[in-house]
Chains A and B, each alone.
Chain A
Amino acid sequence: DVKVTQSSRYLVKRTGEKVFLECVQDMDHENMFWYRQDPGLGLRLIYFSYDVKMKEKGDIPEGYSVSREKKERFSLILESASTNQTSMYLCASSPKNEQYFGPGTRLTVT
C-alpha cells in the first residue's frame, strides 16, 4: 500500500512565525503536491513538484514556498504565517495519474 505521511495532524502557530509542513511518501513517486482545503472552496493547488529540486506554482502560491531535496520528501513553508492561512493542508503523491493523499495537517494561525 502507498503510504503518505504528514509531520503533524494539528498545528497552532502565531502570526508572523515561519512554519514548516513536511510530507513523506514511500513509493518512489515522481510527483508530489501541496493543496489547501477550505469549506466551500474545495481543494486548491499551492505547489507541485515533478522531480527532485523541481517545483511549479499552482493556483495559490502567494505566501508559500516549497522544498524538495529528496525524492520522498516535499516540504511546504509558510515564510510568515498569517491568519488567512488557517486551513487544512493536504499533501499528495502520484506516480503519473492517480493521487495518493496524506492524512492532512489542520493549521491554525492565531
Chain B
Amino acid sequence: GEDVEQSLFLSVREGDSSVINCTYTDSSSTYLYWYKQEPGAGLQLLTYIFSNMDMKQDQRLTVLLNKKDKHLSLRIADTQTGDSAIYFCAEHSGGSYIPTFGRGTSLIVHP
C-alpha cells in the first residue's frame, strides 16, 4: 500500500529553525498535511498544501513540496519550547476519504 515516512526524532535549540521531513510514495497525492500533537491531546491541523503548489508560508511555518522527489518538509522558524510536540505528515488523493499518516516526528526543543 501507499506509505509515508518520517524520521522519529528531531532535537533543536530554542530560537533555531526546525526542519521536519517527510517522503511519500503515492504519485496521485493531491493534498498534503502537517498535524501537530501536543502531549495527551488529539491532532491539530497545522497547515496543508495542494500538490500543484511548491511552497506555502504561514507566519513561522513554511511548507515545501518537491513533487518530483515526493518530499514534503515543514520548517518552523524561531522554534520555541511550546513547539515541542509530535508532528505528523499525511497525504491523500482526491478519490479517497482516508489520508495516510506518517508515524510522527517528535520535536524536542531545548533551551
Contact = CB atoms under 8 A, between A and B. Distances in A.
Given A31-B97, A97-B92, A98-B45, A42 B31 contact: no
A103 B48 CA distance: 21
A98 B102 contact: no
Interface in A40-93: 40-43, 45, 48, 50, 58, 90, 92
B17 interface: no
Contacts, number: 47
Contact of B103 (A33, A40, A50, A90): A40
A98 B92 CA distance: 9
In the complex, which range does the number of interface residues on chain B fall in? 20 to 34
Interface of A: 4, 31, 33, 40-43, 45, 48, 50, 58, 90, 92, 94, 97-104, 106
Interface of B: 31, 33, 35, 40-45, 48, 88, 90, 92, 94, 97-99, 101-104
5 tightest CB-CB pairs across the interface, nearest first? A101-B42, A42-B103, A101-B43, A43-B101, A103-B42
